[in-house]
């Protein structure tokens, strides 16, 4: 019978030996040889009648290897399952490469084998920082009347009509400009020419004041840098001049002709506006109803953002308070072995963030065990179903009415293990946050939207240069918070 022995090098690393005797795989080899003989189609012999000696010579090594490998894998899996309750195994066992050169799988030479594998273990640790002594700030975001006024105006602009005025230009207009490169005061022969669109309120201050006195058809000389005060100038060549490569040379001075002015008119609040802005919502009939509905939406949005920030702060704090070692050398080797595109150099480069992510995974498991948090398969399926429905609703495609089509899409997503794992991770993080609010001490602070956006930016700036966790949810949380803040700020301008 096969024998599995473990030699612990330390608390995090071990060598596993699997000893296989000839008797453990000989029967399987014999059966596979006969099967190969039946299927063999060799010149000079009837189908299935080739001599066994020739079959052995042609296929013997691979048959012996497969039979031995089958026994070894079974023994490995059984052993790892048996110790999984007492040992937290990381990655997969790594065969010791030096041993492989000594193996001879020719049928006549096949005998007893000993295969050795490297094992990595996660350490045992006591969870710290997950109790009433741990204090965090949570934010209540106050939606002011002024903020609601801006949101209502934005909605009125969103559902207003677009017009092309010819007699004046306003700060919120968008201009369609024809640009021709200048050589001194004259148009450059063979120079760059392109048509692009620019927002009046993004023009450089002096240029904007000048343009506001013009109308469609007017021309003016301009330095390309003044057409968008917030643009990365390294991208001006492709975004404003239509060049294929940002490294392509171009001149700075152009004559710009206003070919068209586009204005987003403000819609009046009436029954038609309400039907467009809130389709299917019969409870909204007045301006007061609109404001109440929008306030609820804004509060929910900012509550979600506050929860994301709280989770990111808690996650970072727990990572700092729960320091423990991992089998670094083993894990780097495992990264290279498990990813065909990885190299020793790339594994070394990505390891700090990978290690942080792995640490969080173990801390997360401790929290889940303590709080009784778990994720069921039906929860993942329901979350994916909701995700699909929300996508169709937000895309303006309406409700997803075909149940069979919905079921088919859900089934497809459920077969995508990466998507399922991400969804499960999101669910368990949501549950952990709910549980954590009861376990730790929260200081509630009231802030307005602008103050909260500043808090998010400051948080991101503080940790921008530090090593973030490789855990996808943590990284995405911080990035989403900043993006949301920028979007919100841009919307309010």
Q: Encode pLDDT of 230-265 as tens digits.
A: 877 777 888 888 888 777 888 889 999 999 999 988
Q: Average pLDDT, whole number, for the chain?
A: 85
Strand ranges inside 132-252, DSSP E: 135-142, 162-163, 174-183, 186-187, 193-199, 219-223
Percentage of the residues of the chain whose pLDDT score is greater than 70: 90
pLDDT score, position 307? 93
Q: DSSP secondary structure string, 396-411?
A: T------HHHHHHHHH
Rounded to whole angstroms, what are the CA distances from 57 to 28, 82, 111, 364?
17, 39, 17, 54
Sequence-separated (6 or more) residues with CB below 8 Å from residue 187: 180, 181, 255
Nearest to 428 by CA among 359, 336, 364: 364
* Cα-Cα-Cα-Cα dihedral sign, residues 84, 87, 93, 99: negative
203-211: average pLDDT: 93
Contact predicate 426/384, CB 8 Å: no
Which residues does residue 445 pair with via DSSP β-bridges, in sequence order?
A: 139
Distance from the Cα of residue 234 to its chain's centroid? 27
Q: For residue 456, count other CB atoms closer than 10 A to its CB.
A: 24
Which structural domains are found in the chain, ordered by start? 3-122 (3.30.70.1050), 135-146+277-492 (no CATH), 161-264 (3.10.50.30)
Rounded to whole angstroms, what are the CA distances from 56 to 21, 45, 110, 352, 483?
20, 15, 12, 49, 64
Strand order in the sheet with 13-20: 3-8, 13-20, 113-122, 88-95
The structure's pTM equals 0.67
Q: How far apart are the C-alpha atoms of 261 and 218, rounded to whole Å?
A: 11
DSSP annotation of 468 reads P
User: Judging by DSSP bridges, how do beta strands 135-142 and 3-8 pair with one another?
Assistant: unpaired
Range in 172-186, 192-206, 324-338, 465-479 the model is least confident about: 465-479
Nearest to 134 by CA among 407, 475, 357, 442: 442
Question: Residue 86: pLDDT above 90?
Answer: no
83-111: average pLDDT: 84
Contact predicate 195/176, CB 8 Å: yes
């Amino acid at each position: 019978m096969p024998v599995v022995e473990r030699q612990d090098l330390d608390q995090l690393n071990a060598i596993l030996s699997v000893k296989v005797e000839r008797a453990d795989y000989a029967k399987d080899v014999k059966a596979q040889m006969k099967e190969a003989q039946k299927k063999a189609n060799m010149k000079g012999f009837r189908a299935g009648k080739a001599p066994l000696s020739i079959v052995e010579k042609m296929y013997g090594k691979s048959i012996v290897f497969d039979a031995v490998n089958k026994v070894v894998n079974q023994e490995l899996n059984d052993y790892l399952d048996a110790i999984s309750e007492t040992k937290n195994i990381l990655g997969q066992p790594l065969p010791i490469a030096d041993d492989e050169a000594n193996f001879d799988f020719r049928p006549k030479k096949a005998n007893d084998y000993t295969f050795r594998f490297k094992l990595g273990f996660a350490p045992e640790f006591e969870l710290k920082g997950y109790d009433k002594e741990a204090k965090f700030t949570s934010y209540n975001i106050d939606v002011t009347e002024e903020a609601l006024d801006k949101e209502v105006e934005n909605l009125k602009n969103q559902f207003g009509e677009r017009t092309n005025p010819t007699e004046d230009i306003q700060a919120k207009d968008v201009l369609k400009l024809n640009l021709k490169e200048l050589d001194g005061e004259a148009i450059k022969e063979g120079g760059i020419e392109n048509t692009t669109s620019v927002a009046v309120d993004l023009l450089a201050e002096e240029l904007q004041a000048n343009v506001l006195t013009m109308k469609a058809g007017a021309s003016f000389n301009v330095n390309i840098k003044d057409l968008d005060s917030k643009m990365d100038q390294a991208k001006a060549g492709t975004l404003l001049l239509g060049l294929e490569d940002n490294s392509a040379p171009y001149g700075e001075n152009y004559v710009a002709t206003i070919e068209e002015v586009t204005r987003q008119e403000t819609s009046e609040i009436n029954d038609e506006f309400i039907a467009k802005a809130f389709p299917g919502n019969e409870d909204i009939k007045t301006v007061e109803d609109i404001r109440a509905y929008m306030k609820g939406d804004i509060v929910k949005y900012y509550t979600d953002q506050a929860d994301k920030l709280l989770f990111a702060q808690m996650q970072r704090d727990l990572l700092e308070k729960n320091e423990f070692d991992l089998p670094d050398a083993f894990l780097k080797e495992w990264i290279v072995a498990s990813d065909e595109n990885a190299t020793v150099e790339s594994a070394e480069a990505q390891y700090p963030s990978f290690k942080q992510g792995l640490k969080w995974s173990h801390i997360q498991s401790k929290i889940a065990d303590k709080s009784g948090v778990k994720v069921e398969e039906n929860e993942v399926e329901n979350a994916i179903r909701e995700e699909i429905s929300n996508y169709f609703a937000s895309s303006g495609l309406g409700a997803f009415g075909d149940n069979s089509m919905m079921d088919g899409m859900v089934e497809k997503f459920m077969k995508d293990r990466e998507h399922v794992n991400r969804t499960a991770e999101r669910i368990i993080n949501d549950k952990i946050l709910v549980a954590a609010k009861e376990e730790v001490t929260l200081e509630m602070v009231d802030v307005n939207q602008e103050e909260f956006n500043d808090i998010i930016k400051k948080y991101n700036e503080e940790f921008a240069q530090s090593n973030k966790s490789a855990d996808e949810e943590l990284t995405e949380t911080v990035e989403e918070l900043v993006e949301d803040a920028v979007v919100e700020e841009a919307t309010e301008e």
